[in-house]
Amino acid sequence: MPSCAHGNDSSESTSCSGGPNNYGVRTVSEELDDHSATGLEAEKERRLNDIARRRSSGSEPYPYRFDRSHSLADVRSAHGHLEAGTETDAQVALAGRVMLKRDQGKLIFLTIQDRTNQLQLFVSKAVVGDEQFDDIAALDLGDWVGAHGTVMTTRKGELSVKTTAVVLLSKAVRPLPDKWHGLTDTDTRYRQRYADLIMNESSRRAFAVRHEIIASFRRTLAGQGFIEVETPVLHVEAGGAHARPFLTHHNALDMQLFLRIALELHLKRLIVGGMERVYEIGRVFRNEGISPRHNPEFTMIELYQAFADYSDVMAITETLITNAAVDATGSSVVMIDEKPVDLAKPWRRVRMIDLVTEATGVEVHPSQPRAQLVELASRHSVKVEAQWGPGKIIEELFEATSEAALREPTFVTGHPVEISPLARVDRNDAHLTERFELFVGGRELANGYSELNDPVEQRQRFEEEEKSKAAGNLEAGTVDEDYLRALEFGMPPTGGLGIGIDRVAILLAGAASIKDVILFPTLRPEVFEQ
């Protein structure tokens, strides 16, 4: 029944007197619902009634635009040092969301928030007049407002704007979370990111850091003559990495397509084409588990530089990440496991086989008999699958014994050929490649190598992959004939790099989870009632 009917016949109750909705406008709840709303529904109904009231008195709760003269940070930086009790004649027009309201009788203090900061509006009944004062008093937390006034400080010294007018820019129908405790429920924070961003400065900061990292990467690469490109997301072959792909279908072509798992093979086609220095920042998709460090879609930057090898690429990696740290956080020092690490210092370079030897006390090399490595693996509780060769076993030993301890930035180099089908063989060791992976805080952040550019050898490596796939390895690749044709035209010596941007953002934002640096992380769908 309508909220004003008090149990009487509800069939002709649209103009009951004394209630809050006698403005000749049927409320939404009356249109949709014959029952009195409670809780959240009552709150929404109340606010919808306020919208109707404002419209009936000739003001629009959702105006089209507002001329803002300053951001809230602008006001703070220009007037941040005023003494308490100062009035200025500095006119400003501000816009923001009402976050706090302190109604003091004939004074109202509103704290508004824009993307730069928060600021207090000082509203005096004597200044704005009775009618407007009542409209301001009727504002709710969450409403967007525009305010005109002059900069002042209160007797206690709080920087404020003495408002001559406050206009509603958008009425919020749904209440904000708790003004003090904010929004902490992780599920709600990820699903309703809008509410998280309104309430949590730490969340806004994480995404600011992410933005600065990407902007910094672009600046660094522009300064080194790199060109940004875009390549297909829909792939006929999902190559360039070891991962299970997402499968999709194109109707008009009636064909199966994969979402890309890496950017690599298309970018190297561009190196063949003579573009010399290219990079792409883009989303890749891997159909694997979700964890605090894994999201099914994530963002990589990959770059390729002609005439360079993996040593050059390691230097670029250091520059990119150190610059990004300074640009995003103001410092090259990051906290890892609660200890400071200065990224500006040179990063350790060490071969994977040497790390395994260090950890196990046993010399390892991909050339040694498989049985010896199987035995070593079992001593370190590493389960070995039948189709794994010596190289794969060494990688597993590395992951089990060494990886987690690589807290300070470390380039792990010299990956076995078996696990590196696109990397060039080490010029000094035919069983290893000129490859590196960067580990920081025990996590892989980047991967790069001297690119294999010999089309005959590349075909052999692809065929090895395909054999592995046939043997049941779901992450193994296939022979990409078009890529081989490209290599046949001749790819210059090239160094390549891939960096997981989400992982860098986790590191530099000090985030606990990848979900804290992805605006809309992958979640199971929410079930909506009705």
Partner RNA sequence: GCGCCUUUAGCUCAGCUGGUAGAGCAACGGACUCUUAAUCCGCAGGUCCUGGGUUCGAUCCCCAGAGGGCGCACCA
**Window 156-195: residues binding RNA (CB under 7 A):** 156-158, 160, 175-188, 190
To RNA, the closest distance from the beta carbon of 368 in angstroms equals 22
CA distance 165 to 129: 10
To RNA, the closest distance from the beta carbon of 37 in angstroms equals 9
Q: Segment near RNA (CB under 7 A), from 66-74, 211-219, 228-236, 239-247?
A: 239-247
To RNA, the closest distance from the beta carbon of 160 in angstroms equals 6
CA distance 313 to 448: 7
Instruction: Report the site for RNA in 261-290 (rule: CB under 7 A).
Output: 286, 288-290
3-state helix, strand, coil in the chain (%, to 5): 35, 25, 40
CA distance 1 to 37: 8
Q: Print burial letters for 244-257: b (CB count within 10 Å at least 16), e (below 16).
A: ebbeeeeeeeeeeb
Reported as half-sphere exposure (CB side, CA atoms, 13 A), residue 524 has a value of: 2
Q: Which is nearer to RNA, 465 or 502 (CB)?
A: 502
Instruction: Report the site for RNA in 413-432 (rule: CB under 7 A).
Output: none
Q: Segment near RNA (CB under 7 A), from 60-68, 240-248, 252-260, 372-380?
A: 240-248
Instruction: Report the site for RNA in 292-311 (rule: CB under 7 A).
Output: 292-296, 298
Element (H, E) at 161: strand 159-170
To RNA, the closest distance from the beta carbon of 489 in angstroms equals 28
CA trace torsion 91, 95, 98, 99 (10° rounding): -90
Short-list 426, 459, 428, 427, CA closest to 436:
426
Q: Which is nearer to RNA, 59 or 224 (CB)?
A: 59
Q: Is residue 241 a contact residue for RNA (CB under 7 A)? A: yes
Name the residue type at position 270.
Answer: L
Q: 501 phi and psi, to 5 degrees? A: -65, -35
Instruction: Report the site for RNA in 456-495 (rule: CB under 7 A).
Output: 475
Q: Segment near RNA (CB under 7 A), from 3-11, 135-143, 332-340, 480-488?
A: 135-143
Instruction: Report the site for RNA in 34-53 (rule: CB under 7 A).
Output: 38-40, 42-43, 46
CA distance 326 to 205: 15
Which listed residue (4, 52, 94, 243) binds RNA by CB under 7 A?
243
Which listed residue (32, 208, 215, 523) binds RNA by CB under 7 A?
523
Size of the site for RNA (CB under 7 A): 78
261 CB contacts (<8 Å, ≥6 apart)?
238, 239, 240, 241, 243, 245, 284, 285, 286
Q: Which is nearer to RNA, 112 or 272 (CB)?
A: 112
Tell me, residue by residue from 374 to 393, as one string, x for binding to RNA by CB under 7 A and - for no binding: ---------x----------
Q: Which is nearer to RNA, 272 or 445 (CB)?
A: 445
Which listed residue (411, 503, 507, 508) binds RNA by CB under 7 A?
503
Q: Which is nearer to RNA, 127 or 479 (CB)?
A: 127
To RNA, the closest distance from the beta carbon of 276 in angstroms equals 26
Instruction: Report the site for RNA in 95-134 (rule: CB under 7 A).
Output: 100-107, 109, 111, 120, 122, 124-126
To RNA, the closest distance from the beta carbon of 152 in angstroms equals 8
171 CB contacts (<8 Å, ≥6 apart)?
47, 50, 51, 54, 61, 62, 140, 143
Q: Which is nearer to RNA, 272 or 420 (CB)?
A: 420
Tokens describing residue 387: 């189709």
Which long-range contacts (C-beta less than 8 Å, at least 24 apart) are formed by 334-339? 334/507, 334/508, 334/510, 335/510, 336/407, 336/408, 336/440, 336/441, 336/507, 337/407, 337/441, 339/407
Q: Which is nearer to RNA, 286 or 424 (CB)?
A: 286
Instruction: Report the site for RNA in 317-376 (rule: CB under 7 A).
Output: none
Instruction: Report the site for RNA in 195-234 (rule: CB under 7 A).
Output: none
Residue 201, helix vs strand vs coil: helix
Q: Which is nearer to RNA, 82 or 326 (CB)?
A: 82
Contact criterion met (CB below 8 Å) for 236 and 257: yes
Q: Is residue 79 a contact residue for RNA (CB under 7 A)? A: no
Q: Which is nearer to RNA, 328 or 506 (CB)?
A: 506
Sign of CA dihedral 319, 322, 324, 330: negative
Name the residue type at position 195.
Answer: A
